[in-house]
Structure 1
Amino acid sequence: MSLQFIGIDPQTDDDESPTVWVDRGKGELVFQGWKPSPELEAECAAHELPGHAVGIPDTEAVVRIPARMVDVIREACDALEGGDHIR
């Protein structure tokens, strides 16, 4: 796997670093974010969605990303769609 760095939380410090990468080979966005509180994770797991079982599969995770990273996420989407907006 070859990850392409797109951006990091603009307000990051040494202890936190929500980050966005692109994996072009798999056509995926890859996020590093904060772990949710147990309450938030339980709330996400409790939602019943059409066509999906209740709960969070062992192969998935809930990740929190700050809203201030919307531009970085858009940039990652553009990169996957063939845009040349890579830093």
Structure 2
Amino acid sequence: MTLRYLGKDPESPEGRSPTLYYDDERDTYVFQSWRVTDAERLAVLDLPEHETVIEFPRRMMRFFPEINSDATEVDGPRTP
């Protein structure tokens, strides 16, 4: 698996997460972000046992190449 770093939330405290990666083998995105643990919010979802839910800020949409044709890797390729 090759994860390609696409971007990190520029407003994240201490430059930590959320972070967005692209998996070029699976043609999917991988998010490192805040886990949703609020029971009330989870109750409205049809969430299978093998899945989880994360939350990420709308401002990070700019890192999706499909949204912003100018999106580039901020720090170059890297793997976690």
TM-score (norm 1): 0.67
Partner SS, residue 31 of structure 1: strand
Q: Give the equivalent residue in structure 2 for 1:71.
A: 62
Which structure has the larger Rg over C-alpha atoms? 1
Partner SS, residue 47 of structure 2: coil
Amino acid at match of 1:41: L
Amino acid at match of 2:5: F
Does 2:25 align with 1:34? no
Measured in 1, the distance between the counterparts of 2:2 and 2:43 equals: 33
Instruction: State how 1:1-87 maps to structure 2 within 5 Å.
Output: 1-14=1-14, 16-36=16-36, 37-43=38-44, 45=45, 55-72=46-63, 74-75=64-65, 77=66, 85-87=71-73
Higher relative contact order (CA 8 A, sep 6+): 2
Q: More helix per residue: 1 or 2? A: 1
Structure 1, gaps ≥5 residues long:
46-54
Partner SS, residue 57 of structure 1: coil
Count of paired positions: 71
**Which 4+ runs in 1 deviate beyond 2 A?**
83-86
| Identity over aligned pairs, percent | 31
Structure 2, gaps ≥5 residues long:
74-80
Post-superposition shift, 1:42? 1.5
Q: More strand per residue: 1 or 2? A: 2
TM-aligned CA distance change 1:39 to 1:30, over 3 Å: same
TM-score (norm 2): 0.72
